[in-house]
Amino acid sequence: MITFSQTVASVLFLCALTTAQRGDYSLPPEACTPSDGFGQYCPTTCGVADYLQKYKPGVVKDLRDMEEILLDIANLTKGAQDRVVYLRDSETQAQKTSPDTYIHKSRSMLDDVIRFEKSILTQEEQIYTLQSTLAANDKRMLELKQLALQLDQKCKMPCKDTVEIQPVTGKDCQDVANKGGKVSGLYYVQPARAPAPFLVYCEIDSFGRGWTVLQRRRDGSVNFNRNWIPYKEGFGYLSPDDSTEFWLGNEKMHLLSVQSSVPYVLRIEMVDWDGKKKHADYAMFKLGPEADKYRLTYAYYFGGDAGDAFDGFDFGDDASDKFHTSHNGMQFSTADQDNDKYQGSCAKQDGSGWWMNRCHAAHLNGKYYKGGTYTAKDAGQHGFDNGIIWATWHSRWYSLKETTMKIIPINRITAGGQQGGVDSFGKGDLPSP
Ligand SMILES: [Ca+2]
């Protein structure tokens, strides 16, 4: 910087000198006569002086401006230098005061800086990864939203018109039929002591009889291996066209069956894999309250061509077979509530909820076997007869294709006269066994 200032000063000095030279007109003019030796384009000494004289003011001004700028820069540099000196002094002072602590401190500060830099890099990488994940998630979310939208639109169409609930209500399906219900379908009923109405499938025939359907098996689409609560409240699906499987629920069956002084008949209808149909009727059918584990009671076998399997069956294994497989008076058992007469759990072994004794001759909530015949091997780990069984019709190793359990007030069962009587079921398409 100083060197540069000196150069500037020299230039200024030269200018001053030329001025002095130019100003000295004492020199004879011929001294400025161009010398031929230089050629006509080359300036003489006087020419140089003239040239300098002509351009000097501008140059001088530029130089002065430059000098000012340089001075400013120099001042700034001086300030910075002063600062450095000051810092150095402070450092020295600090080192003198407590050198070890200071050095240690600076080193640890440096270490800290390096560490921070490293962690900043790492964090930046993590942030980048997170951003990528976020972007991927956003994309996935969008896809899911679109899928949900598509599904939603798909769902809306078939869901609109499939469930038609009939407007008539009553305390059971016979009451519904009495009040004008003419077609089979879904109705709300409210038995005498029921806290609220509930949905049932009513089978209403041409004689004006209204059957309240309690159970339906038809294709194995519903799992009947359930615990106490589902059996209590009901499971499966009610449909207006009788196309689905369900268990209405023990509590509803109890409320229905005990509401009136007019007792009910329970009708059990069954279809085997050859398409044969048979039925069994039980008079004075009742289900006890939950406190009595929904105990099954009836007065007597009212008729039918399927035989009285509820009364037990002599399988030939033991003299007490029939006694141990009767169902009248049995409490309801599920895998999680063993109320049977067996040291083990019939419900657990046979994978169903039922009025188990030790265990059964009738077993309509059993496992669904397509085709009918099954073996102990098919029955899984326990190997017991766990199919849909009605032992007085087919062997316990034959599982039925379809079953229906439904009730009607006893005074209505023969209400259609001869044609509406017990014999009307399946009449015409039933070869006698
Ligand atoms: Ca038991």
Please give the distance, rounded to the nearest whole angstrom, from the Cα atom of residue 356 to the centre of ligand 1: 9
Angle at 33 between CA 28 and CA 37, to 5 degrees: 135
The residue ranges of DSSP E strands in 277-392, in sequence order, are: 277-287, 296-297, 300-304, 362-363, 389-390
Whether 375 and 285 share a structural domain: yes
Q: Please check whether residues 306 and 226 belong to one and the same domain.
A: yes
Instruction: Clarify whether residues 245 and 352 are in a common domain.
Output: yes
Check residue 119 and report its DSSP letter.
Answer: H
- Going from the Cα of 403 to the center of ligand 1, the distance in angstroms, rounded, reads 26
The mean pLDDT value for 295-302 works out to 97
Residue 162 in any domain: the answer is: no
Residue 431 lies in a domain: no
In terms of domains, do 302 and 189 share one? yes
How far does residue 327's CA lie from ligand 1's centre (Å)?
15
Least confident of 40-49, 93-102, 209-218, 263-272: 40-49
Query: Counting beta carbons within 10 angstroms of the beta carbon of residue 209, is it exposed (0 to 12), middle (13 to 18) or buried (19 or more)?
Result: buried
Q: Quick one: the chain helix, strand, coil %, rounded to 5?
A: 45, 15, 40
Ligand 1 center to 39 CA (angstroms):
138
Has residue 15 got a pLDDT over 60? no
Q: At what angle do helices 45-97 and 99-161 cross, to 10 degrees?
A: 90
User: Quick one: pLDDT at residue 230?
Assistant: 97
- Please give the pLDDT value at position 13: 44
pLDDT at 161: 52
CATH number of the CATH domain containing 354:
3.90.215.10
Q: Is residue 303 part of a domain?
A: yes
Q: How far is the CA of 345 from the centre of ligand 1 (A)?
A: 4
Dist. CA 312–CA 341, nearest whole Å: 14
Q: What is the pLDDT of residue 158?
A: 54
130 Cα–ligand 1 center, Å: 57
CA of 387 to the centre of ligand 1 (A): 19
Q: Element (H or E) spanning 100, and its range?
A: helix 99-161
Expressed as residue numbers, the domain containing 44 is 4-92
Residue 364 CA to ligand 1 center (angstroms) comes to 19
**CA 315 to centroid of ligand 1, rounded, Å:** 20
**400 CA from centroid of ligand 1 (Å):** 26
3-state secondary structure of 283: strand
Q: Has residue 163 been placed in a domain?
A: no
Q: What SS3 state is found at 98?
A: coil
d(CA 105, CA 357): 87
Distance 358 CA to ligand 1 centre (A): 8
Cα(257)–Cα(192) distance, integer angstroms: 10
Are residues 105 and 78 both part of a single domain?
A: no
71 in the same domain as 187: no
Question: What's the number of domains the chain is made of?
Answer: 3
Do 213 and 308 fall into the same domain?
yes
**CA distances in angstroms from 390 to 103, 178, 282, 324, 326, listed in the order given:** 97, 33, 14, 15, 12
- pLDDT above 80 for 253: yes
Separation of CA 337 and ligand 1 centre (Å)? 9
Contact between 403 and 215 under an 8 Å Cβ cutoff? The reply is yes
Q: How far lies 43's CA from each of 17, 18, 40, 227, in Å? A: 18, 15, 8, 122
Among 157, 183, 206, where does a domain finish? 157
Reply yes or no on whether the pLDDT at 34 is more than 80.
no
Question: Would 146 be classed as within a structural domain?
Answer: yes
Residue pLDDT, tens place only, 57-86: 777 788 788 888 878 877 777 777 777 677
Cα of 375 vs centre of ligand 1, distance in Å, is 24
**How much distance in Å is there from the Cα of 335 to the middle of ligand 1?**
10
CA dist list (Å): 91 to 80, 88, 167, 258, 316: 16, 5, 98, 102, 110
Q: How far is CA 415 from CA 408, 409, 424, in A?
A: 11, 10, 12
Please tell me whether residue 385 adopts helix, strand or coil conformation.
coil
Selection from 200, 246, 219, 237 nearest residue 408 by Cα: 200
Which pLDDT tens digit goes with each residue over 361-400? Answer: 999 999 999 999 999 999 988 889 999 999 999 999 999 9
Give me the chain's average pLDDT, please.
Answer: 82
Residues above pLDDT 70, as percent of the chain: 78
- 4 pLDDT more than 50: no
Is residue 164 in some structural domain? no
Domain shared by 321 and 225, yes or no: yes
323 in the same domain as 206: yes
